[in-house]
Every structure is written in structure tokens, then in C-alpha cells.
Amino acid sequence: MLLDADDCQLVLVDYQPRLMPSIQDGVAVQARALCLAQLAQLVGVPTWGTEQSPDKLGPLAPELQALCRRTLAKTDFSAAAILGDVLRPAVRAVGGNARSLPKHLQKPVATAEGRGAVVLAGVEAHVCLLQSALELLEQDFEVWVVTDASGSRRERDRDAAFDRLAGNGAELVTVEMVAFEWLRSAEHPQFKAMQALVK
């Protein structure tokens, strides 16, 4: 199964300047996250950001925040609860009194318009990213974790998170895998712009 840009949303978890210096290869991890967010913008994939206790750790990195439709503050390690309304909008109520109409004249029940695949990247991989991904899987989203744009303070914690995520049904991908799957063809109008970003 390949990623489909029209069915994806991107979530950037907790890339906060006060946290990033303690992340192993933090500069490279954040650079890959920026590349991913720029790719999402090229192909029209909605991007959301989260901030863990921003009063203590500061806001999401400004260059990432600029590419997000919205940044959500949280104190829980998992972002799934606060992301629910933005990732899966509420169903709009059908107007009128449908009960008074015969069944064959009633409007069909509205369904939520949403994108079912969540591409997720962030820090720390074994805490906020892991808990968010597992809870989004429980909410029946397809979850794709971008490994080269995610990190932890210790390599062993990061790797254990990826093992656990894969074992629970998350797909593990890289920024370039996401980019080439979102475009699908060298004929895509954004192909050259994408190449410039990933090189």
C-alpha cells in the first residue's frame, strides 16, 4: 500500500527549540521535519503541529509553525485527544426534521469528511510520538511514522519505539519515501521542486 497525498494529513510532534538540543542528531531530525512540511505544502497535504507544555519548553520551531494550519498545545504526552477534532472533523447535522419525512425522502446521514492516513513525525519518539501514534491507530487512522524526521535523546529508546510501532501496525517510512509516494510520477508538476527539497 502506497501513501496517497489526497488521503494524508501530516502531524509534527513537539519540535520545540528548548527540547531539540537534547535530541540525538536533533539538527538533522528537525531539518528532515522541515523538508517533510515543505513537501506537504507542495502537494496540498494539511499540516498540524503540537507543542508539549509550551509554557516550559517554548513554542513549536517558528519555521515549522509557519507551515502548519494550526499548532495545538498539550500537557498529555499523547496528542491524539487534541488532534481528534482537526484530523476527523465533526459530522455536520442534517437540516430539517428528518423524522417527519418518509424514509425514502430522508437525506442520507452525513459522514465526516476527512483524510484517514496520518503521517507522523516528532520527538521524543519513545514518548509523545509513540503514544500519539498508538492512540491514533486505536482511533482507526492509518499511521505512517517518518523515522528520519523523528528522534529521542538515546538511540536505543528511538529504536525501541520504532520496533513497537511497527509491531502495532504503524508503517515506518522516510522523508524520501513519503515524497516519492505523494508525487507518484516524474510527470507530477511539483517533481522538480520536490527533488530540490530532498537533495
Using CA atoms, how far apart are residues 38 and 182, in angstroms rounded to an integer? 12
pLDDT (tens digit per residue) in 136-179: 999 999 999 999 999 999 999 999 999 999 999 999 999 999 99
pLDDT (tens digit per residue) in 3-51: 999 999 999 999 999 999 999 999 999 999 999 999 999 999 999 999 9
Distance of CA 50 to the CA centre of its chain: 10
Q: Which CATH class is domain 5-88+115-198?
A: alpha beta
What is the crossing angle of helices 191-198 and 26-43, to 10°?
180
Q: Smallest Cα–Cα separation from 126: which of 118, 134, 117? A: 134
Share of residues in the chain with pLDDT > 70 (%): 87
Q: Where are the domains of the chain?
A: 5-88+115-198
Strands (E) across the chain are located at 8-13, 47-52, 70-74, 117-122, 142-146, 171-173
**Is residue 198 very low, low, confident or very high in pLDDT (cuts 50, 70, 90)?**
confident
Using CA atoms, how far apart are residues 120 and 11, in angstroms rounded to an integer? 5
Q: Which pTM was predicted?
A: 0.87
Using CA atoms, how far apart are residues 169 and 194, in angstroms rounded to an integer? 28
